Chains A and B, each alone.
Chain A
Amino acid sequence: MSTTDTTAVGQGNTTPSGTSLLEVDDLHVEFKTRDGIVRAVNGVSYSVDSGETLAVLGESGSGKSVTAQAVMGILDMPPARIPSGEIRYRGQNLLTMSNEARRKVRGAKIAMIFQDALSSLNPVLTVGYQLSEMFRVHRGMSRKEAKARAVDLMDRVRIPAAKERVNDYPHQFSGGMRQRIMIAMALALEPDLIIADEPTTALDVTVQAQVMDLLADLQKEFHMGLILITHDLGVVADVADKIAVMYAGRIVETAPVHELYKNPAHPYTKGLLQSIPRLDQKGQELYAIKGLPPNLLNIPEGCAFNPRCPMAQEVCRHELPPLHEVTDDSGRPIAGRGSACHFWKETLHG
């Protein structure tokens, strides 16, 4: 694996001293299965700072969730394996930490919000118990003290009548309220970084907006870093500062959020943007990227997107494009922009 394909564009916001809040550096994750080795993440690098929101965008199977789970340290190993790469939290490599040290980071410093709150909450424990557990385990608080903090948390994520509802079970809440409880749990110990893995996918559209707003508000209030994993371009536009688009376990494009929407520099991103239904195209056929996402057991040679790419040339089938710096018309690099396409210039101007 050459390192040229993971040049440091993803770490554009790294401070000179090199201590971003979180840095993922050339991460590889693979799963051993009966059919062979599934290469889910193939050299991903990104970074997040305090108060910053990074959106990781991609289809299912693009490696976006696996990367997050690796950061969180909740991959089942085996079958998962991390053959190379580093995940640094405030400069410390999480992957070489002791299990006990890693456990103390989880939940307290880096917290995670999952997609399906109903299955992610323990069905037989009250939400109050599950919230107060954070304080009891990490802060050594008494049952009573922790319960009071749980009620505070529920108030904070705007759950009505928190005091009465603290002893209810997850199934007694609506979908939106359950996701608020997940958010409350993640916020409990005021972590530096929250990873939200498709936090609104399982919710009604009206509730999605409320939950996203809440998350964005709380992030501002606590000045946390946020990694938002999603396949929903609509969600991203409002809250993200920068975007990393993933395909077949690699980052194919990185950009500040508005640049990406305005002017994508990778044919895959372009396809994604075109496939958003728009009111002014009523009556026209909806655009879809042709073909299927690649089989991770057998990722196409060269650029993984080449079999589906309308711009593919001979070089795309043989040569893996590195993450090129994207420059403006006068040749100056645009901060934070990168594209893993041989023809990024043509894409940008085409």
Chain B
Amino acid sequence: MGRYILRRLLQMIPVFIGTTLIIFLMVYALPGDPVRALFGDKAPDAATLAALRHQYGLDLPLWHQYWNYLSGIFKGDLGTSYSQQPVASILGAAIPVTIRLALVAFVIEMVFGVLFGVISGLRRGKLADSVLLFVTLIVIAIPTFVIGYVFQVVFGNNLGWVTPTVNDSYNITQLILPGIVLGLVSLAYVSRLTRTSVVENVRADYMRTAVAKGLPRRRIVGVHLMRNSLIPVITFLGTDLGALMGGAIVTEGIFNIQGVGNVLYKAINQADGPLVVGTVTFLVIVYLVASLIVDLLYAVLDPRIRYA
């Protein structure tokens, strides 16, 4: 187990270097000169330009710039955005917001997704099952920005249950509606995945054994069925937590939430290279850690998985 974790951590190094390098090169290849852009319409003199280039290290060869960037990361320095703020402090303000939003969405999709999936799986072919399959299909088919705007108008503007946009991104109660919007598609996937898994396992031989042992039904379902059925679901949920942390660009935009997705959206629009690279680096790390945790969790849940 220890060796396995070590090997997984070592495997993360090339992935980390590869992704950051690609992003770094892509931002470098963007058209336009960011230093000139700082001056807007005015034409700066060559000496000022050169001084600024030197200040940002943009006069160095590309490999040197990348090296400076990588070594900065390990000192906790993600560079300085072109808006003169340290990238680390911009992300530092956005990450807690995104974590809150992601957790709200995660709890909603986990609790309701598994609940609906189990009910539906145990009543395969009945009305509740058909309704779930139909509704989840619709939810999966509708893009998030449509659901987001509809919910915003209906629950925010028309019914007035919540504020249409979030004015305090740290306030969890304001994040509930955006959380539902963010988690809805995953909720549909979790329901369907749970349902399929329950249907598959409910006819398994060990379920027959559990009945033959004279166990009460809640134990047969709650222990024997769940421990097996939830293995693929938990794997999905783990990966999805990583996706929720970074994939909230649309939702954060609709509800004006000052999270990581928002930061990334603005940075791309403003061609703010250091900020884009810094944010993406953060997201890469989140994904890597999430997938490592999922793999480890998988082995805990299913003892047949061996670390070879």
- What residues of chain A have their CB less than 8 Å away from a CB belonging to chain B? 72-74, 103-108, 111-112, 114, 116, 119-125, 133-134, 137-138, 169, 171, 185
How far does the Cβ of A230 sit from chain B's closest Cβ, in whole Å?
18
- How far apart are the CA atoms of A111 and B219 in the complex, in Å? 18
Other than the given A114-B205, A121-B209, A125-B224, 10 more pairs (CB < 8 A) read A105-B214, A106-B214, A111-B212, A119-B205, A124-B304, A133-B213, A137-B213, A137-B216, A169-B304, A185-B213
Residues of A within 8 A of B223 (CB): 125
B303's nearest neighbour on chain A, judged by CB, is A169
**Can you spell out 28 A-B residue pairs with CB atoms less than 8 angstroms apart?**
A74-B208, A74-B211, A103-B214, A104-B214, A107-B214, A108-B214, A111-B212, A119-B204, A119-B206, A120-B205, A120-B206, A120-B208, A122-B206, A122-B210, A122-B224, A123-B304, A124-B228, A124-B301, A124-B302, A124-B303, A124-B304, A125-B224, A125-B227, A133-B213, A137-B214, A137-B215, A138-B214, A185-B209
Residues of B within 8 A of A119 (CB): 204-206
Residues of B within 8 A of A73 (CB): 211
Contact with A along B270-308 (1 / 0, CB 8 A): 000000000000000000000000000000011110000
Known contacts being A74-B208, A119-B205, A122-B228, is A106 close to B213, with CB within 8 Å? Answer: yes
Residues of A within 8 A of B205 (CB): 114, 116, 119-120
A122's nearest neighbour on chain B, judged by CB, is B206
Q: Please list the 10 inter-chain residue pairs (A to B) with the smallest Cβ-Cβ separation, ordered nearest first.
A: A107-B214, A106-B214, A119-B205, A107-B213, A122-B206, A169-B303, A120-B205, A112-B212, A120-B209, A74-B211
- How far apart are the CA atoms of A138 and B212 in the complex, in Å? 13
Residues of A within 8 A of B227 (CB): 122, 124-125
Residues of A within 8 A of B214 (CB): 103-108, 137-138
Residues of B within 8 A of A74 (CB): 208, 211-212
Interface size classification for chain B: 20 to 34
- How far apart are the CA atoms of A278 and B77 in the complex, in Å? 83
Residues of B within 8 A of A121 (CB): 206, 209
- How far apart are the CA atoms of A37 and B214 in the complex, in Å? 29
Q: In chain B between 227 and 266, which residues have their CB closer than 8 angstroms to a CB of chain A?
A: 227-228, 231
Q: Is the CB of B304 within 8 A of A133?
A: no
Contact with A along B178-212 (1 / 0, CB 8 A): 00000000000000000000000000111011111
Residues of B within 8 A of A111 (CB): 212
- How far apart are the CA atoms of A112 and B208 in the complex, in Å? 10
A100's nearest neighbour on chain B, judged by CB, is B216
Known contacts being A114-B205, A124-B302, A169-B304, is A106 close to B212, with CB within 8 Å? Answer: yes
- How far apart are the CA atoms of A106 and B219 in the complex, in Å? 15
Residues of B within 8 A of A72 (CB): 212
- How far apart are the CA atoms of A119 and B208 in the complex, in Å? 10
Residues of A within 8 A of B209 (CB): 114, 120-122, 185
How far does the Cβ of B199 sit from chain A's closest Cβ, in whole Å?
13
Residues of B within 8 A of A106 (CB): 211-214
Contact of B213 among A124, A134, A169, A171 (CB under 8 A): A134
- How far apart are the CA atoms of A106 and B220 in the complex, in Å? 14
- How far apart are the CA atoms of A106 and B216 in the complex, in Å? 11
Q: Is the CB of B228 within 8 A of A123?
A: yes
B202's nearest neighbour on chain A, judged by CB, is A76
- How far apart are the CA atoms of A145 and B208 in the complex, in Å? 26
Q: Which has the most chain A C-beta neighbours within 10 Å: B204, B206, B219, B223?
A: B206
How far does the Cβ of A217 sit from chain B's closest Cβ, in whole Å?
22
Residues of B within 8 A of A116 (CB): 205
Known contacts being A119-B206, A120-B205, is A137 close to B219, with CB within 8 Å? Answer: yes
- How far apart are the CA atoms of A121 and B206 in the complex, in Å? 5
Residues of A within 8 A of B228 (CB): 122-124
- How far apart are the CA atoms of A123 and B205 in the complex, in Å? 11
- How far apart are the CA atoms of A73 and B213 in the complex, in Å? 11
Contact of A114 among B208, B216, B231 (CB under 8 A): B208
- How far apart are the CA atoms of A241 and B223 in the complex, in Å? 39
Residues of B within 8 A of A107 (CB): 212-215
Q: Which has the most chain A C-beta neighbours within 10 Å: B211, B213, B216, B301?
A: B213
Residues of B within 8 A of A169 (CB): 303-304
